[in-house]
Every structure is written in structure tokens, then in C-alpha cells.
Amino acid sequence: MGAPVVALSSDPDTRSGSNRRAKKAKSPPLENVTRIGTDEVSHRKGLVATAIEGWVRRRPANLAATVSPTPPLGRAVAPAVPEPAPGTSAAELRTLRPRLRSVGVTGTNGKTTTTCMLASIVAAAGETSARATTLGTWLGDEQRSADVSLDAFGDLVRAAVAQQVRTIAVETTSKALAAGFARVWPADVAVFTNLTRDHLDTHGSPEAYLAAKAQLFMTVPPDGAVVWNLADPCSALLDALVHPGVRRFGWVVGDVHPDCAQLPVDLRADAIHTSVDGTRCEVSASPRSEALSGSQRLAAVGAVHVQNALGAALAAAALGYEAAAIWQGIRAFPGVPGRFELVARRPLVVVDYAHTPDALARTLLEARALIDGTAGRLACVFGCGGERDQGKRPEMGRIADEHAHTVYLTNDNPRREDPERILDAIEQGAPTPRRAQWHRLPDRHAAIHAAIASATPGDAVVIAGRGHEQRQILGGGAVPFSDVGVAHEAVSQRRGGVP
């Protein structure tokens, strides 16, 4: 019933010194990634404000002068999205909302992991955790539903209130936010992970996609908090839409983007080292977040988990959780199924949900880092979903060719599209001559087996695109299919075992 919920799923001393490390602007990354705006920050703010005009009840004063009556890029303004149809679920959620402290997490990548890390922190503090993600809903260690509907979320909320849970972590996607979820369930603390190309088939334009994300932050109450990824210029755009009384926290891995130079830098991670045994980093902090600084080790494999950990740590700290519980929970967090999930070590076999250009590039670079210093080669098994953003297909082909030594092009979830046309579009992105060796195997089961059978002990195989999914959508139906399960089967066969 109702719209899906998930996947539907200042302190001045914080600014001293850290902002001086922000690099000078070279080119507008937003124009490359999401095609939003130009070099002028004010113009980008105006474009975003125009895109969300249908949602804004009171336009922020600092944006009012920059909003033009028509979109500067000639795209249609995102239409006003009504609140969910009135009914028991929405009314009941509004009634129960004051009984729980809620953290909302949004962005293109890292939402599920950050949300699960928050639940692990709550558990480490000795409390029962509640979380809603694209994988389902959990109360403590009990999975209550694999569903991501409003009804499933309502069931979780009722159970959490009944057990006197204090904190709930909610993954909120652009689809859920565009449907008005943040009006029904505003977050006390809202976390922004990043923004890259995704869901243009749903929202129609990059502006509307960002506008949907903005709903989470526009509904944070004045006594709430927001947590920004300061390496992403969209943080500066979204910050302009937040109530001035809301507390701002920021984290960064690497350099602060110039557009974010005026936002507080609370946590910074350096000296990141990854191995198949986990991830290590050094965390430095502003005076108000000093308790979170120090050398940290994560059980989860991958540098990207450091970014997720910083966001989760600041969100938990904003709710008053102690640093000891925060890092204990993050250290204990093993990772999310299908998110850089290690199936085998020699050869290294990884299953990842990467289904966008940015995510695929990050995953392949992460896998290459784990075999650096060896003669190992990287194989990538991937495709693209049917009836989804077609523009990303050649870009993902280019990225696979650039970062992998061998590419096994195969079906993802073609749905009702012609699978061969999807594969053709991906291949069009590969340069001529190609850098990598390409194999076209539409049968995903065969492609995974071929990649793992061909790998040497020092090689790495990344199976990307579907992650945790248990069904493959072919035509108008779905068949049972788990990338992790097929990968285990192929590894077993390689070792002479019985699948």
C-alpha cells in the first residue's frame, strides 16, 4: 500500500585549517557527472531551485534571486509531487514518528551500507536497532520483511515502538522521496553520501533526480542535523536548502571540493589501506569531533567503506552516541550482502551491486588495488538492466574496457528489452582498438563460470550489477538467480568440488 519506502527502499572552530586544503576549482565535476549547471555556484543553485520549485513551500532567501522562470538548460521543471494519498499508513506513521529518532540516508551509492553501519552502532551501544533498507527491514537481528513497501516500513515502526527502540536508520531513495516519504517521515539526522548518474529513466533529468534527493534535507527540523560528503559539490547545493538552525557536519576522504569550502570539516580519513582481511585508515577530526579521531580498522573490505563509516559516525555522534560505541559498531560491521562481497580469495572473486558508471569504476579500481604488486589480471562480468537509463550503457562499456583486462559482457536484468541490443549499446562505448579482451556471453551463468574458470590464483574477478538480487528478470518473468550462489558454484567446480 502506498509508495515504496526504500528502493521504493556550528561551531566556528570546525572550519579552521581544514578548508585551506580545498583545491582550486579546475572544471565543474557536476557538468561531467550530472550535467547540472556551469562554473558559477549561484547558477547551479538556481538550477536546482528551479527543478524543485514544485516542492518548495517557502523558497530559501539565499536562492530567491537566482531562480529563473524557466530552466536554464531548457529542460522541463520537475512537476510538483503530491504527498502520498491520505490513508491509515501515512496517518499512522505521522502519529508514531515522534516516538523514534530517525536517521535518513540518501545519495547514489553507499546508502545501504551506511544505514546498516548505523544499526551496528546502535547495537554496539547496547540498544535494539531498527533499520529499513533496499534489502528489507530488521528489528535487531530479526528480519521482519524482505519487502520495501510502506506497509513493511509501518510494521517495522510499530514493532520498534512496542519494543521501546530509540533509533531507526532508514535508507531513502530518490523514488521514495519524490513520492513524498520525507513529508510523512522526516529525518532528525539526514546523511548525503554522493550524487552520480542514476535513475534518469525514473526522474527524467539530472535536475529532477537531485531535486528528489533534496526532499530529505528540506524536511529536517530546525533542531536536527545534516551530514555532508564534502568531496561532492552537490553538498553545497543541498546545504542552501536546509533550515539555518540545523546543525551541519561534514566528512571527506581526500580533498574538500571548492564549492564546499565554507562547510565545516569534522572528519577526514587518510592513509587508507585495504586487503582481503579488511580496511585500515587514519581519522583526523575537528575540535568538536575530536573523540572520533584515531587509527581505525574496519572488517569490511574496500576504501569506499571508509567514506560510509565517516558518514555513519557523524550521524551517530549527532544523536549523542559515544565514540567508543560508534567505532565498536563500525569495526564489527562485516559488510552488506552483494556490496563488494568476497566469494573467494585465490583467485579473488567479488560480487558487487555496481550498476552505474561511477560505481563500476570504483569497484574495479578497488579490486585492482587488492591485486596490485602481483602479476594478477582483472576480469569484469557485467551487463546493464533493460528498460532503464540507456545513456549509461556505452559509458559503462568504456569504463569496463579502461579498468579491466578481460570483459565478460552478459545479461543483467534485460526485462522486456532485446538483450542483444543492450549488449550492442554497451560495446559501442569501448574504444577502437579495445584495451581489454572482450567475451560476449549473454547467458550470465555461463559468463560467471567462464570468468572464474579462466582466472589464475593471483587474478581477480568482479561480478557487477546485481549484487544481492535473487531473481533475474527475463522478458515478462523472473527466474531464480544469485550471482553469489553461481560464483560459489563456479569456485567449487574450479577446485574440483561438487556444486
Residue extents of the structural domains in the chain:
88-332, 341-494
pLDDT exceeds 80 at position 131: yes
pLDDT exceeds 60 at position 435: yes
- Band (pLDDT 50/70/90 cuts) for residue 57 is very low
pLDDT value of residue 202? 61
Q: Cα(79)–Cα(84) distance, rounded to whole angstroms? A: 15
Closest of 110, 108, 103, 107 to residue 132, by C-alpha: 103
What is each CA distance from 350 to 27, 307, 343, 469, 486, in whole angstroms? Answer: 34, 20, 6, 14, 12
Residues 231-246: pLDDT tens digits? 998 899 899 889 999 9
DSSP label of 79: P
pLDDT exceeds 60 at position 491: yes
Q: Cα(234)–Cα(85) distance, rounded to whole angstroms? A: 30
pLDDT value of residue 52? 56
The CATH T-level fold of domain 341-494 is Protein-Tyrosine Phosphatase; Chain A (3.90.190)
Residues 5-16: pLDDT tens digits? 333 222 323 333
Contact status, residue 286 vs residue 263, Cβ threshold 8 Å: no
Q: Cα(78)–Cα(376) distance, rounded to whole angstroms? A: 47
Residues 376-416: pLDDT tens digits? 999 999 999 999 889 899 999 999 999 999 999 999 999 99
Considering the domain delimited by 88-332, tell me its CATH architecture: 3-Layer(aba) Sandwich (3.40)
CB-based contacts of 362: which residues, under 8 Å, 6+ apart? 109, 304, 354
- Band (pLDDT 50/70/90 cuts) for residue 498 is very low
Contact status, residue 21 vs residue 27, Cβ threshold 8 Å: no
CB-based contacts of 161: which residues, under 8 Å, 6+ apart? 96, 99, 100
- Band (pLDDT 50/70/90 cuts) for residue 73 is very low
Q: Could you tell me the sign of the dihedral formed by the alpha carbons of 219, 114, 308, 39, in that order? A: negative
Residues 465-489: pLDDT tens digits? 999 999 999 988 999 999 999 999 9
Whether pTM > 0.95 for this model: the answer is no
The more confidently predicted of residues 66 and 431 is 431
Among 129-133, 225-229, 339-343, 371-375, where is mean pLDDT lowest? 371-375
What is each CA distance from 92 to 77, 216, 301, in whole angstroms? Answer: 32, 20, 40
